[in-house]
């Protein structure tokens, strides 16, 4: 498989660096150098969408081998993943809700945020499309149409990144969802898709989970996201942050930064772009760019002028 | 690596039950199912063993002595039997979280934390059912042991022996609650599987929950069947041991 | 040998034993007769040292048990055996039941070893066990579960269980009340054998014929305590106390 060869090459290069550093670390372990991480465990709290698509399992072996460490990936949903990190129970977070990430940064819990990758959200529903939203260019128009038709809509209702995005969309559409047609499941994306499938309902899904599950359900994409030239508002960017060792001194900051460095490296970014489920690419790398993007390091809209607010 | 010893140490019934779904070509990597069975059994059996070591002496003391507040302790135990597992999970989470009193031990998302929450879950049923079994032993049997020269310890041992089926039932009930519980182990364990496909804190129940979350109801059902087979196997082993006791 | 001296015992407001004295000697059988509810069981439990009297003393070979240290009292208590009206066998094989008294008198290491051997089924009962079972005629049932026995057989095992560790005194509380004549005869025969071994036997019974058959001496326990103690023949033929006479002749109806 292509991925394997690519990973192998990436591992070789990085492995050479790591083994050299490992020798140095071995001779003076008390110095606590960055290479003295072998045998340690990195706790990553992340979202169900990165985990359930199998992406992390596919790429983590490379990192574990390179550093001789273990990655404990805990799939919790964006809200819970950030909360675990806030309590100092994880070392690094990978989530997809910029507003919540920014709050996390502003409160001092996270440092060194990087844009990681993106995919997009899609509005899916039954082929019969009772609200007639197929091919709409505006996601908010589509939601308004669903609300007007009182067509069944399934919401995650779990404070996840997808749920946060959905609420933002309703707000942008100027519609307050509610009534019999609007159901909150309080479950993961896969279950929400199943519920929508069984009830012939619409729902908002990240493209990755929908693709990995498409063969089992009858729902179809009715409004595309930006990857397929849909509206930009449906973009789904993933960010990664280390837990601030100044707040939680037990956080494994060295390893967290090694992980962030590794996952934003060109080799792994390419592995991410080559990861496929059912023959489709799920995630689009975003960390490697020729152009500077300073906004990825700070809360959105932050500038030094407003820093004292 | 931890998989071979697991495979060998499991009883034949469980082996058959697990080979079956593997024949159906599950979309799992080699060793995955074994490793979650291992974690399930390791966590539940350890928790139940600790609960038993704690519960039986408590039940004996409560069954043999009267002390002020005994009714209160009883009602606490009975309430504990119905305690929701997610609440126990939350409490243990607060305890072992970095911010909690045991934070320095770094127990969050480990089997040890799962054992703690299952200990809390399994102890009330084991204590309550053991206590019922102990107090259910006929007074005349205690009398007989005493007048034949038995000390308090001798009498307690006789009562424990007479109550052994009830106590076995209690332990099975505790095991049943522990191994079939999903809420607390998900919260404190984190449902972690390594990149090599070997479970660290994923149990059968949380694996089922994960499959269901992804809409993979078919594989969830198969894992559910494995779980049921496992519980039946453990019950069968215990009942068989009990029967041998009768015939000897 | 075993002796109650001026013993009183009450349960709440109700005085069951009042200033009561009685004694049993080596190789002697004493029957305690009296209507039910009069305190025969309390009397026997007091003799067995399993019940502390409110007043008075219980002495074995001159040692006051309740004035002694707890360890010494245990040693004294272990020289006494008791059989109830109910067999109260343990849920275990017959031989393990009979062996119980011997087992608990052993050091812990031996007890654990015996338990393990019995679990793997290689345990051979001690001679005293076979001997005691022989006395009640149940040697062939040694390996059966106690639950498989009839009521009469269970009571005979219960007797053997108290006999096996060779106590100095055997206390029998209505041992044959629930039994048919054949099993009653076996128990009475076993009582005689125990007496022949020098064991002091106290049997509480409401069956005056049994008292006449087995006892050397009879104590009559009525509401106010022991009205009369004496050689069996004299008590039945020529009671000196008026109330004893009425009880024995059946005029005093309870």
Please write the tens of the pLDDT for every residue from B174-230: 999 999 999 999 999 989 988 788 899 999 999 998 888 777 788 889 999 999 999
Q: How many CB atoms lie within 10 A of CB A227?
A: 17
**For position C252, what pLDDT does the model report?**
67
Smallest Cβ–Cβ distance between C104 and the set B138, B141, B154 belongs to B154
Chain B residues touching residue A61 (CB < 8 angstroms) = 195-196
**Residue closest to A95 by CA, chosen among A190, A110, A106:** A110
For the stretch A269-284, pLDDT in tens is: 999 999 998 888 989 9
Q: Report how far apart the first and last C-alpha atoms of chain B are (Å, whole number).
A: 40
Contact B128, B78 (CB under 8 A): yes
pTM score of the predicted model: 0.79
**What's C69's DSSP letter?**
-
- The answer to whether the beta carbons of residues B165 and B94 sit under 8 Å apart is no
- Label residue B185 exposed, middle or buried (CB < 10 Å: 0-12, 13-18, 19+): buried
Residue A276 phi/psi, 5-degree rounding, is -130, 145
Residues of chain B neighbouring C101 (CB-CB closer than 8 A): 148-149
B57 phi, psi to nearest 5 deg = -60, -40
Chain C residues touching residue B147 (CB < 8 angstroms): 45, 48, 50, 80-82, 162, 171
**What is the C-alpha separation between A143 and A132, in angstroms, rounded?**
11
3-state secondary structure of B107: coil
CATH code for the structural domain at C2-249? 3.40.50.300
A32 compared with C222, residue with greater pLDDT: C222
**pLDDT value of residue B4:** 43
- Write out chain B residues lying below 8 Å of C82, CB-based: 147-148
User: Are A125 and A182 members of one domain?
Assistant: yes
Q: Please determine, for residue A94, whether its predicted confidence score (pLDDT) is greater than 80.
A: yes
What distance in Å separates the CA atoms of residue A163 and residue A169, rounded to the nearest whole number? 10
Residues within 8 A of B (CB atoms), C 38-77 only: 45, 48, 50, 74, 77
Q: What's the confidence (pLDDT) of residue A40?
A: 92
**% of chain B surpassing 70 pLDDT:** 86
**Whether residue A281 sits in one domain with residue A230:** no
- Write out the H or E segment, with its range, that includes residue A183: strand A182-184
Q: CB count, 10 Å around CB of B182?
A: 18
Contact A287, A264 (CB under 8 A): yes
**Residue pair B59/B166 in contact by the 8 Å Cβ criterion:** no
Chain B interface test: which of C92, C107, C120, C129 (most B C-beta within 10 Å): C92
Q: Which two tokens stand for residue A52?
A: 């359930």
Quick check: B217 and A52 CB within 8 A? no
Min Cα–Cα distance to chain B from C96, Å: 11
Name the residue facing A194 among B103, B196, B215 (closest C-beta).
B215
- Can you give the pLDDT at residue A224? 94
Q: Determine, for residues B192 and A72 on separate chains, whether the beta-carbon distance falls below 8 Å.
A: yes
Please check whether residue A190 is in contact with residue B216, taking contact to mean a CB–CB distance below 8 angstroms.
yes
The DSSP line for A129-158 is -TT--TT-S-HHHHHHHHHHHT--EEE--S
Domain, as residue range, for A159: 120-234
**Chain C residue with minimum CA distance to B245:** C119
Q: Map residue C24 onto helix, strand or coil.
A: strand
Grade residue B5 by pLDDT with cuts at 50, 70 and 90: very low
Answer whether C131's CB lies under 8 Å from C60's CB: no
What are the backbone dihedrals phi and psi of residue A145, each rounded to the nearest 5 degrees, phi first?
Answer: -65, -40
- CA separation (Å) from C150 to B142, B245, C131, C160? 21, 21, 21, 15
Distance (Å, whole) CA A75 – CA B86? 17
Whether A205 and A57 map to the same domain: the answer is: no
Q: Do B214 and A70 touch (CB under 8 A)?
A: no
- Distances in Å between the alpha carbon of B14 and those of A163, B8, B22, B236, C115? 40, 11, 12, 11, 31
Least confident stretch, A106-110, B25-29, C246-250: B25-29
pLDDT at C173: 95
Q: Between B108 and B248, whose confidence is greater?
A: B108
Report, as an integer, the average pLDDT of A3-24. Answer: 41
Helix H or strand E segment including C25? none
Chain length of chain B: 248
Which chains would you list as touching C if contact means 3+ CB atom pairs under 8 Å?
Answer: B
Output the pLDDT for position B244. Answer: 57
Which of B30, B95, B97, B98 to mutate against chain A (most A CBs within 10 Å)? B98
B196 CA: distance to closest CA in chain A (Å): 6
Give CA separation, A113 vs A64, A287, B137, in Å. 22, 11, 66
- pLDDT band of residue C84 (cuts 50, 70, 90) is very high
Q: Phi and psi of B53, rounded to 5°?
A: -60, -30
Which residue, A200, A234, A268, sits at the end of a domain? A234
Which DSSP symbol is given to B204?
H
Residue with more model confidence, A105 or A23: A105
H helix or E strand, kind and range, residue C7 = strand C2-11
Task: Mutate one of B137, B139, B149 to test the C interface: name it (highest C CB count within 10 A).
Answer: B149
B-chain residue closest to C45, CA distance: B147
Q: Name the residue among B141, B147, B246 with its Cβ closest to that of C82.
A: B147
**Model confidence at A2: pLDDT above 80:** no
- In chain B, residues with a C-beta closer than 8 Å to the C-beta of A189 are 213
Mean of per-residue pLDDT scores for chain C: 91
Task: Give the residue-averaged pLDDT of C39-56.
Answer: 93
Give yes or no for B217 touching A (CB within 8 A): yes
When the pLDDT of each residue in chain A is averaged and rounded to a whole number, the result is 85
Distance, in angstroms, between C88 CA and closest chain B CA? 5
Query: Could you give the CA distance from residue B125 to residue B136 in angstroms, rounded to a whole number?
Result: 16
- Chain B partners of C84 at a C-beta cutoff of 8 Å? 140, 143-144
What CATH number matches the domain at B33-203, 3.30.70.20, 1.10.10.10, 1.10.3720.10, 3.40.710.10?
1.10.3720.10
Helix (H, G, I), strand (E, B), or coil: what is residue C205? Answer: strand
Which residues of chain A make contact with B196, given a CB cutoff of 8 A? 61, 64
Q: Which residues of A touch B109 (CB under 8 A)?
A: 43, 72, 74, 89
CA-based nearest residue to A116, from A259, A309, A281: A259
Test the C interface: residue of B133, B144, B148 with most C CBs within 10 Å: B148
From CA C51, how far away is CA C173, in angstroms rounded? 15
Q: Among C215, C218, C169, which residue's Cα sits nearest to residue C60?
A: C169
- Decide: helix, strand or coil at residue A15: helix
Token pair of A20, please? 């050299």
List, in sequence order, every residue forming a beta bridge with A276; answer none if it has no partner: A281
Q: Has residue B61 got a pLDDT over 80?
A: yes
CATH code of the domain covering residue A192 = 3.40.190.10
Compute the distance between CA of residue C197 and CA of residue C132 in angstroms, rounded to an integer: 12
B141 at interface of C, judged by CB pairs closer than 8 A: yes
Within 8 A of B106 by CB-CB distance, chain A residues are: 250
Whether residue A197 is predicted with pLDDT greater than 80 in this model: the reply is yes
Interface contacts A/B by beta carbons within 8 Å: 77
Residue A13 has a pLDDT of 41
Helix segments in A200-252, DSSP class H: 207-213
What's residue B104's pLDDT? 85
Q: What is the largest CA-CA distance in chain C?
A: 62
Q: Is B1 on the interface with C (CB under 8 A)?
A: no
Look at A180 and A26; give whichever has higher pLDDT.
Answer: A180
> Would you give the distance in Å from CA C1 to the centre of its chain?
15
A139 and A270 assigned to the same domain: no
**Interface residue C104 vs chain B (CB under 8 A):** yes
Which residues are CB-contacts of C158 (< 8 A; sequence separation ≥ 6)?
Answer: B144, C83, C84, C87, C88, C89, C97
Question: What residues 196-215 of chain B have any CB closer than 8 A to a CB of chain A?
Answer: 196-197, 200-201, 210, 212-215
Q: Is residue A306 one of the residues assigned to a domain?
A: no
Write down the pLDDT at residue B113: 95
Distance separating alpha carbons of residues B205 and B200, to the nearest angstrom: 14
Verify whether the Cβ–Cβ distance A60 to B98 is below 8 Å.
no
pLDDT in tens, B235-248: 888 877 766 554 43
> How far apart, in whole angstroms, are the C-alpha atoms of residue A77 and residue A130?
30
Q: Which two tokens stand for residue B119?
A: 């200990």
pLDDT tier at C253 (50, 70, 90 boundaries)?
low
Q: Is the ipTM of this complex over 0.95?
A: no
Q: Which of A11, A63, A73, A249 to mutate to test the interface with B (most CBs of B within 10 A)?
A: A73
**Domain's final residue, options A234, A254, A273:** A234
Residue A309 included in any domain: no
What is the pLDDT, as a whole number, of residue B57? 95
Write the DSSP string, C207-246. -HHHHHHH-SEEEEEETTEEEEEEEHHHHHH--SSHHHHH
What is the total count of domains within chain A? 2
Average pLDDT of the segment spanning A245-252: 93
What percentage of chain A carries pLDDT values higher than 70?
87
Distance CA(C31)–CA(C208), nearest Å, equals 9
Are A211 and A242 found together in one domain?
no
User: Among residues 140-169 of chain C, which lie with CB inside 8 Å of chain B?
Assistant: 145, 158, 161-162, 165
pLDDT above 90: percentage of residues in chain B: 60
- Which chain B residues contact residue A191 at CB under 8 A? 212-215
What letter does residue A74 receive in the DSSP assignment?
Answer: E
In this structure, the strands spanning C29-33 and C225-231 are unpaired
Query: What is the rounded average pLDDT of the residues A95-108?
Result: 94
- Say which residues have a Cβ less than 8 Å from residue B132's Cβ, sequence separation at least 6: B166
Question: Roughly how many angstroms between the first and final C-alpha of chain A, as a whole number?
Answer: 52
Rounded Cα distance, B124 and B142, in Å:
25
Nearest-CB residue to B141 (from C90, C104, C171): C90
Banded pLDDT at B25 (limits 50, 70, 90): low
Burial state string for C121-134 with b = 16 or more CB within 10 A and e = fewer than 16: eebebbebbbbbbe
Q: Is B106 on the interface with A (CB under 8 A)?
A: yes
Q: What is the mean pLDDT of chain B?
A: 85
Question: Rounded to an integer, what distance in angstroms lies between the CA atom of residue A186 and that of residue A177?
Answer: 16
DSSP structure class, residue B1: -
Q: Output phi, psi for A153, to 5 deg.
A: -135, 130
Q: How far is A52 from chain B (nearest CA, A)?
A: 7
Tens-digit pLDDT profile for residues C140-176:
999 999 999 999 999 999 999 999 999 999 999 999 9
Nearest to B188 by CA among A89, A167, A135: A89
CA atoms of A165 and A171, how far apart (whole Å): 10
CB C17 within 8 A of CB C42: yes
Same domain, yes or no: A105 and A161: no
Rounded-to-5 percentages of helix, strand, coil across chain B: 75, 0, 25
The 3-state DSSP class for residue A46 equals strand
Among the listed ranges B31-45, C174-188, C233-247, which one has the minimum average pLDDT value? Answer: C233-247
Is the pLDDT at C16 greater than 90? The verdict is no
Q: With beta carbons under 8 A apart, name residues in chain A contacting B201.
A: 72
């Amino acid at each position: 498989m292509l991925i394997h060869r690519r990973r192998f090459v990436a591992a070789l290069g990085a492995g050479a660096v790591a083994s050299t550093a490992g020798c140095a670390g071995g001779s003076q372990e008390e110095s606590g150098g960055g290479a003295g991480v072998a045998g340690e465990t990195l706790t990553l709290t992340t979202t169900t969408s990165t985990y359930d698509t199998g992406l992390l399992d596919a790429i983590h072996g490379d990192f574990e081998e390179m550093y001789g460490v273990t990655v404990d990936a805990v799939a919790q949903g964006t809200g819970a993943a950030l909360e675990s990190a806030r309590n100092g129970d994880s070392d690094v977070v990978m989530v997809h809700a910029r507003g919540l990430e920014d709050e996390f940064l502003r409160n001092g819990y996270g440092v060194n945020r990087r844009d990681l990758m993106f995919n997009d959200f899609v509005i899916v529903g039954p082929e019969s499309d009772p609200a007639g939203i197929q091919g709409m260019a505006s996601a908010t128009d589509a939601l308004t149409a669903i609300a007007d038709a009182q067509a069944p809509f399934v919401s995650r209702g779990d404070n996840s990144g997808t749920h946060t995005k959905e609420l933002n969309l309703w707000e942008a559409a100027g519609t307050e969802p509610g009534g019999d047609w609007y159901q909150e499941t309080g479950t993961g994306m896969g279950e929400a898709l199943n519920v929508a499938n069984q009830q012939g309902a619409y729902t908002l899904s990240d493209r990755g989970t929908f693709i990995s599950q498409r063969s089992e359900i009858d729902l179809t994409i009715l409004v595309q996201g930006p990857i397929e030239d849909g509206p930009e508002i449906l973009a789904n960017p993933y960010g990664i942050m280390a837990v601030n060792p100044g707040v939680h001194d037990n956080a494994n900051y060295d390893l967290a930064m090694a992980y962030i460095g590794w996952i934003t490296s060109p080799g792994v970014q390419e592995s991410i772009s080559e990861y496929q489920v059912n023959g489709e690419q799920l995630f689009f790398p975003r960390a490697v760019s020729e152009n500077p993007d300073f906004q990825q390091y700070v809360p959105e809209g932050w500038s030094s002028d407003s820093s004292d607010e | 690596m931890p998989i071979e010893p697991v495979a060998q140490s499991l009883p034949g019934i469980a082996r058959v039950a697990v080979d079956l779904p593997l024949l159906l070509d599950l979309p799992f990597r080699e060793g995955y199912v074994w490793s979650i069975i291992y974690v399930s059994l390791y966590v539940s059996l350890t928790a139940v063993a600790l609960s038993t070591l704690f519960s039986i002496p408590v039940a004996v003391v409560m069954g043999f002595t009267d002390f002020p507040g005994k009714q209160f302790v009883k009602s606490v135990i009975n309430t504990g039997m119905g305690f929701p597992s997610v609440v126990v999970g939350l409490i243990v989470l607060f305890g072992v979280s970095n911010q909690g009193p045991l934070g320095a031990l770094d127990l969050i998302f480990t089997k040890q934390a799962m054992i703690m929450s299952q200990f809390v879950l399994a102890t009330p049923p084991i204590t309550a059912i053991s206590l019922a079994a102990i107090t259910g032993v006929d007074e005349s049997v205690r009398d007989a042991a005493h007048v034949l020269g038995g000390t308090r310890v001798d009498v307690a041992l006789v009562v424990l022996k007479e109550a052994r089926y009830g106590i076995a039932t209690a332990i099975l009930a505790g095991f049943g609650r522990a191994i079939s519980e999903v809420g607390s182990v998900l919260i404190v364990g984190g449902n972690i599987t390594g990149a090599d496909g070997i479970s660290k804190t994923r149990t059968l129940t949380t694996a089922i929950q994960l499959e269901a979350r992804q809409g993979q109801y078919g594989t969830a059902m198969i894992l559910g069947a494995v779980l049921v087979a496992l519980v039946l196997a453990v019950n069968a082993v215990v009942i068989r041991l009990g029967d041998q006791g009768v015939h000897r | 040998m075993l002796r109650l001296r001026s013993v009183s015992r009450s349960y709440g407001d109700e005085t069951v034993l009042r200033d009561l004295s009685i004694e049993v000697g080596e190789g002697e059988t004493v029957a305690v007769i009296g209507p039910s509810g009069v305190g025969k069981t309390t009397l026997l439990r007091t003799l067995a040292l399993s019940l502390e009297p409110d007043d008075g003393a219980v002495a074995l070979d001159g040692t006051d048990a309740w004035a002694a240290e707890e360890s010494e009292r245990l040693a004294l208590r272990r020289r006494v055996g008791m059989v109830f009206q109910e067999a109260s066998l343990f849920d275990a094989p017959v031989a393990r039941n009979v062996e119980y008294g011997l087992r608990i008198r052993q050091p812990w290491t031996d007890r654990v070893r015996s338990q393990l051997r019995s679990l793997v089924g290689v345990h051979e009962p001690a001679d005293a066990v076979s001997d005691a079972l022989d006395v009640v005629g149940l040697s062939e049932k040694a390996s059966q579960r106690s639950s498989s026995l009839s009521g009469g057989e269970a009571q005979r095992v219960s007797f053997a269980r108290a006999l096996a560790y060779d106590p100095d005194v055997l206390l029998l509380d209505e041992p044959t009340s629930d039994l048919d004549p054949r099993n009653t005869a076996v128990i009475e025969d076993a009582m005689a054998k125990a007496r022949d071994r020098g064991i002091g036997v106290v049997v509480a019974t409401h069956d005056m014929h049994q008292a006449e058959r087995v006892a050397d001496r009879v104590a009559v326990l009525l509401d106010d305590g022991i009205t009369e103690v004496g050689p069996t023949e004299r008590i039945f033929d020529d009671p000196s106390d008026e109330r004893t006479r009425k009880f024995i002749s059946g005029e005093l109806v309870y």
